[in-house]
Amino acid sequence: MFSLEQKKTLLALARSALTSHFEQHRLSLPSDEAFQPKRGVFVSLHMGDELRGCIGYIKGYKSIASSVVEMAEAAAFRDPRFVPLEKRELPSVNIEISVLGELLLLSPGAEPEVGKDGLFISHPYGSGLLLPQVAVEWKWDARTFLREVCRKAGLNSGAYKDADSKVYRFTADVFSEKDTF
């Protein structure tokens, strides 16, 4: 989806968003037309192999560039699972960006393609999302991936089979500083 230079620009934008939090400088959004569409965007922060924050939009509410800035800040300073990022940690953080494709309803009985699809479940008692790279990192098969997205939503592991469940698959353009620089 994005060229290497565009990926580098978005990653630099996310890092600038984090730096500006500590240094109070103004950010300017890149003017590249590719960053103007409204898309779902997640920003994940890692310290070594450990997750340090991850927050995103499932659907496009703002431009990709605006969403990258907002979600980088949210992952660093507002992910309730972690204490806010400290300035001393900034050089050690690896930023990963996932720009989501369209949500497509998964047919009953169908399985996601591990390594390609992410999953989002919507259920009357909860909802949850797992990015495509999660199943690969944990070496899950398709059934395990379905069970784990239910658990992420706070549901029983078989809730994806419930008549009230809607399970969506989506692709994502995923790139990180570790892989791009």
Q: Residue 1: what pLDDT?
A: 82
Q: What is the chain's length?
A: 181
Please, what sign has the CA dihedral across residues 102, 124, 137, 40? positive
Indicate the fold that domain 4-100 takes in CATH.
Glycoprotein, Type 4 Pilin (3.30.700)
Greatest extent of the chain over all pairs of C-alpha atoms, in Å: 51
Domain boundaries, the chain: 4-100, 104-170
In whole angstroms, give the CA distance from residue 87 to residue 111: 42
Alpha-carbon separation of residue 72 from 10, 12, 97, 104, 175 (angstroms): 11, 11, 9, 26, 14
Question: pLDDT of 30-67, one tens digit each?
Answer: 999 999 999 999 999 999 999 999 999 999 999 999 99
Q: Residue 180: what pLDDT?
A: 78
Q: Residue 179: what pLDDT?
A: 87
In whole angstroms, give the CA distance from residue 12 to residue 179: 14
Indicate the fold that domain 104-170 takes in CATH.
Dna Ligase; domain 1 (3.30.1490)
Q: What's the whole-model pTM score?
A: 0.94
Question: pLDDT of 64-75, one tens digit each?
Answer: 999 999 999 999
In whole angstroms, give the CA distance from residue 154 to residue 149: 9
Start-to-end Cα distance in the chain: 18
Domain 4-100 and domain 104-170, same fold? Reply is no
